[in-house]
Amino acid sequence: MMSRTSTDKSDFTQGSILQNIVRMAIPMTAAVLINALYSIVDRIYLGHIPDAGASALTGVGLAFPIITIITAFQNLFGNGGAPLFAIARGKGRNDLASKYLSNAAFMLISVGLVLTAVSYLLKGRILWLIGASAETFPFADDYLDVYLIGTVFVMVSVGLNPYINAQGAAKTGMMTVLIGAVINILLDPLFIFTFGMGVRGAALATVIAQFVSAAWVLLFLMGRRAKVRLSFSGFKVDFPTIRKIMSLGVTEFCFALTNSAVSMACNGMLSRMGGDAWVGAMTVMASLREVLFAFVHGVAGASKPIMSYNYGARRFDRTKSTINIMLSILLVYYILTWAILMRFPASLAGLFTEDRNVIECSVISIRIFFSLQFFMAFQSVGQGAFTSLGMAKHALFFSLFRKAILVIPLVLILPHLFGLGVYGVFAAEPISDVIGGLSCYVTMRFATRRKLSEGAAVLEV
């Protein structure tokens, strides 16, 4: 059994829950925020290219759905295996935790190679399908031509980073993205402007940054500082283990995949009903969401291993307290960011573009899209609890419910009702925030009541 001491920061049964969340959340929030800078810095620079900024920004925005599909597979094996990894550690089963880690790494690399080939074959067709115009297609296509070279690197760096955080090494996890982001920020202006490479330069800077981040992750997980090391010595593919990882990761997988589908639906509808300026506004809005919601992802990322670990250690009281504290933190944050978004939409949009048409469209889209965002606190907590406790079916359902069952149909229907037009595309989000968020949270409370009661059986990992 693993020894537990009060000074062991990887033992989440010890110390204040709030302090544990804060200790983990600060570096993890920084990591998510820095990770967002990978693409956001690209967009800021590209949006200010003389005479082509708006088209370049919109073109790169059209590449998001394809990039998000890659993210879905990172989630499948990264976020899918990390809770099981943490539960195994909570039980003192480091041998089992090692099996989850090595099989997840094998799948991330293998799937990354397949995704690279498939993406190159289909990217052109997808771009035209989701609303590319003759003016924006060349920018999107050029960006993906280079970006896809680094698919395996990003699968490894982002997909394996949760296994670093699940060992209590949140600062090391933050460094994974900090190193890459600094490299990306430094290389972007050099490649885009000095060498005149435009969108290709932005993509090349990202690929180099992803390569260095992947190397950092592997050095840690294979090194002495890792409590559970990644090793392929005597490794054999274990399909039952992979199925367990995928059964839990399918929730995060579908969440990212449906995000891609939502982006496709929104861009397609906006392109037909509004034109490139509205697609550009969607890119601005999505960029702001990545930055402002970094804290949400950081708190959720910090809370999940704490919930999983205490659940594995049968400390159900601490698991329930983590859920309550997470909700309180996120509600306050969502309300504060809502106030900022409603008060300064034009200034925020101006960070990404100088085009007045795009800024005007962005102001409208931001105020509609984020109008009821604080209900997402309930969605985040419900999804986080389902995933952390291994309740894959519940997590999967509510991941699909909000995006696939609510948002996508609303995006396709609302623009044709009451003369809403493009406004209906953005109105789909607040409606789904309320319905999806409340239904997920209420169901989680009822579904976990017995699971977290005294004498309850712990998920067999």
pLDDT digits (tens, 9 = 90+) for 147-205: 999 999 999 998 999 899 888 887 888 888 789 888 988 998 899 888 888 889 989 99
The per-residue pLDDT for 46 is 76
Could you list the residue range(s) of the whole structural domain that residue 104 is in? 17-449
**66 in a domain, yes or no?**
yes
Q: SS3 helix, strand, coil % of the chain, rounded to 5?
A: 80, 0, 20
pLDDT digits (tens, 9 = 90+) for 243-271: 999 988 887 788 778 877 888 888 888 88
Domains held by the chain: number: 1
Minimum mean pLDDT among 135-139, 289-293, 340-344: which range? 289-293
Q: CB neighbours of 398 closer than 8 A, spacing ≥ 6? A: 379, 382, 383, 386, 436, 439, 440, 443
The per-residue pLDDT for 5 is 43
Q: Return the beta strands (E) in 64-217 as ranges.
A: none
Average pLDDT over residues 340-345: 93
Average pLDDT over residues 291-318: 84
* Per-residue pLDDT at 461 exceeds 60: no
- Amino acid identity, residue 347? S
What's the 3-state SS for 400-435?
HHHHHHHHHHHHHHHHHCCCCCHHHHHHHHHHHHHH
**416 in a domain, yes or no?**
yes
The per-residue pLDDT for 433 is 93
* Per-residue pLDDT at 223 exceeds 50: yes
Q: Is 364 helix (H, G, I), strand (E, B) or coil?
A: helix
Q: State both tokens at 76.
A: 């499948």
| ∠ CA 120-125-131, rounded to 5° | 125
Mean pLDDT, all residues of the chain = 85
Average pLDDT over residues 427-441: 94
CB atoms within 10 A of CB 405: 16
**10 in a domain, yes or no?**
no
Average pLDDT over residues 196-219: 92
Query: Quick one: pLDDT band at residue 6, thresholds 50, 70, 90?
Result: very low
**422 in a domain, yes or no?**
yes
Q: State both tokens at 299.
A: 């708190």
**78 in a domain, yes or no?**
yes
* Per-residue pLDDT at 3 exceeds 60: no
**235 in a domain, yes or no?**
yes
Q: Is 351 helix (H, G, I), strand (E, B) or coil?
A: coil
Query: Quick one: pLDDT band at residue 4, thresholds 50, 70, 90?
Result: very low
Q: State both tokens at 336.
A: 């504060």
Q: State both tokens at 28.
A: 């993890």
Cβ burial, residue 446 (10 Å; 0-12/13-18/19+)? exposed
**5 in a domain, yes or no?**
no
The per-residue pLDDT for 456 is 60
The per-residue pLDDT for 298 is 85
**7 in a domain, yes or no?**
no
